Amino acid sequence: MRSMVARACALLCLVGFAACMGSPGVVGSAGDSPDRYRSATPSLERARGPAPGPATEPYEGLGTWIDIYDTNVWERPVHAVRSMAAHGVRTIYLQSSNYHRNRPFVHAEGVEAIVDAAHRRGLEVVAWYLPGFRDPSLDLHRAVRTIRFETPSGNRFDSFALDIESSEVRRPDLRTARLLRMSAAIRRAAGDEYPLGAIVTSPDRLVRTDPHFWPGFPWRRLAGTYDVFLPMPTTRTG
């Protein structure tokens, strides 16, 4: 059974989020310069408090992001993982797909290669998916498929993170309702002990620079489902 105390710790971050006037440190993109490798720890601390546990392990330390547009990575996935490990990366944040693609894994063979190569080198892999909330059944299906993904060698993702940044559904109240239903279903499918992350728009944007983007963002409700919040400094489009 998941610890209620651990979930309560997630609630403590909300005051810090609302007061935040700048984006916390996040991990870099796989396509940037070598200084892209930055620690994910600041985001983790804001989401769950100072005491990490098993549910937060995939999110600790140095990490890098791979999205579906990182051509250089997908063309040479094993080489890319070798380079990441050489730079001290501990976690790879790997995009599986998004709501306007026609399949749950845009680069299925590359995903297999990266997960296997990462685990051979002791790296964690967190899969992430961007839902549009226009077709909740499709989004949920893809999220669950990603959580249950397994390579032919038997390797799986160490965690899954939902990218909660799309405004495809224009009404914030409807978007929120679909997000909460989807999140609860993802938790049921994943089980109580599986680590789940929520990739969110910068609190600075939600509170100060663009308060009309998602008014009433459900921080407290999400904190009861997800183990980690990962605030992004800019809005993702993919």
Query: pLDDT digit string (tens) for 130-152?
Result: 999 999 999 999 999 999 999 99
End-to-end CA distance of the chain: 35
pLDDT value, residue 181 = 98
Tell if the pTM clears 0.75, that is, is over it. yes
Give the integer Cα–Cα distance in Å for 9 and 223. Answer: 9
| Record: fold of 4-232 | TIM Barrel (3.20.20)
pLDDT value, residue 45 = 35
DSSP 208: I
Averaged confidence pLDDT in the chain: 82
Largest CA distance in the chain: 47
Short-list 161, 111, 166, CA closest to 136 = 166
| Annotated domain spans of the chain | 4-232
Query: pLDDT digit string (tens) for 39-58?
Result: 443 344 333 333 445 789 99
The number of beta carbons lying within 10 Å of the beta carbon of residue 102 is 6
